[in-house]
Amino acid sequence: MRAAVMWEPGETFEVRDDARRAAPGPGQVVVRIRAAGVCQTDLSLAAGAFGQSMPVILGHEGAGEVLEIGIGVTGTAPGDRVLITWVPPCGRCFHCLRHEPYICSNRKGSTQLSESSSLMVGDKAVQTGLGTATFSEETVVPTTAILPLPEDIPFEYAALLGCAVPTGFGAAVNSARVQPGESVLVIGCGAVGMSAIQGARIAGAAELVALDPMASRRDLALTLGATHAVGPGDDPRRALTGAPGFDVVIDAVARPSTIRTAWDQARRGGRVVVVGAGRAEDMVEFSAHELFHGEKRLIGSYYGSSDMARELPRLISLWRSGRLNLSAMINDVVGLDQINEVASAQKAGTVLRTMLAL
Ligand SMILES: [Zn+2]
Ligand SMILES: [Zn+2]
């Protein structure tokens, strides 16, 4: 089978025809991936961030069909259309029992190569990136990592619902709980930020401001529901009439400078949601006085606080009714052979998502 392999941090992907996968173990399924997106986190992992070991087959935004099922698997069968989720909930841990499956304690998403890796390239065991490895024609995942897809959603649209869309939409709807009439600022308009803009629009935000250095992204943000779009040199608060700051600020970048901007742009008593994948070495400073005096709430958002079993049908309904625009977030669909061009374009920000068809 074909797969895109990363051999050393920071190198280019090598598309190989001689990748192999193990038979599905008990409770596992094999998915024939049909479409995959290259998420910003994949680019960070490809550069060796978050302790990613090599070689690895990355990819965690993917959709396809069940090909084979292991012993004890019920509720799905070969031929079923499915979405892959990179946080398969165990259903039993502290967080799952508290209806927080997105932070399941038993997620098998280690960035380290385990001895039981299900993927090989040539004679080498290869790490299964984030436990999903969707840059491969076939991948072996626990049955808890698949969610059923209806017939009417194309695979390349569905794949976006595996990471970027629930992460951004959920940051607005689940983590920030945007209310009708609130003012919202979204910092960083990649696929996650654009999804946060759509989530805030659907939740009923009044003033909805997009902040991004790229004019093309600001234009797209306006078509997806932003009422104003500004660059880094502008003060987003100019969009507000009579309010001292935003009710909600969503930071989809998560660098110290953007988190600080998010904090400063929120009004006293407002909410700041940090949804980007922040790095362990990045520190953000607040004085004890401003924490107390500002009465702001600082909220981390992991996978958009999305319970995917509930979120996926909701997102599909919103897409089907024309409220959630997925097509505008996809620039193109190309073959796996072009993964390096796709990665460069996304790194440069010239495309939002070019989906890979496998
Ligand atoms: Zn769990
Ligand atoms: Zn992602």
Q: Which two tokens stand for residue 305?
A: 């606080």
Residue 95 Cα to ligand 1 middle (Å): 6
57 close to 126: Cβ distance less than 8 angstroms = yes
Q: Which fold has domain 3-161+326-357?
A: Quinone Oxidoreductase; Chain A, domain 1 (3.90.180)
On whether the pTM is more than 0.75, the answer is yes
Q: What gap in Å lies between CA 198 and CA 208, rounded to an integer?
A: 10
First to last CA, the chain: 10
Q: How far is CA 114 from CA 117, 139, 159, 225, in A?
A: 6, 16, 26, 44
Residue-by-residue DSSP string for 15-29: EES-EEEPPP-TTEE
Residue 134 Cα to ligand 2 middle (Å): 11
Q: Where are the domains of the chain?
A: 3-161+326-357, 167-302
Q: Which fold has domain 167-302?
A: Rossmann fold (3.40.50)
197 close to 185: Cβ distance less than 8 angstroms = no
pLDDT 10s per residue in the chain (358 long)? 999 999 999 999 999 999 999 999 999 999 999 999 999 899 999 998 888 999 999 999 999 999 999 999 999 999 999 999 999 999 999 999 999 999 999 887 667 666 568 999 998 999 999 999 999 999 999 999 999 999 999 999 999 999 999 999 999 999 999 999 999 999 999 999 999 999 999 999 999 999 999 999 999 999 999 999 999 999 999 999 889 999 999 999 999 999 999 999 999 999 999 998 888 899 999 999 999 999 999 999 999 999 999 999 999 999 999 999 999 999 999 999 999 999 999 989 899 999 999 9
pLDDT at residue 112 in the model: 67
**Which ligand has its closest atom nearest to the C-alpha of 103?**
1
Residue 170 Cα to ligand 2 middle (Å): 13
**Which ligand has its closest atom nearest to the C-alpha of 62?**
2
**Which ligand has its closest atom nearest to the C-alpha of 93?**
1
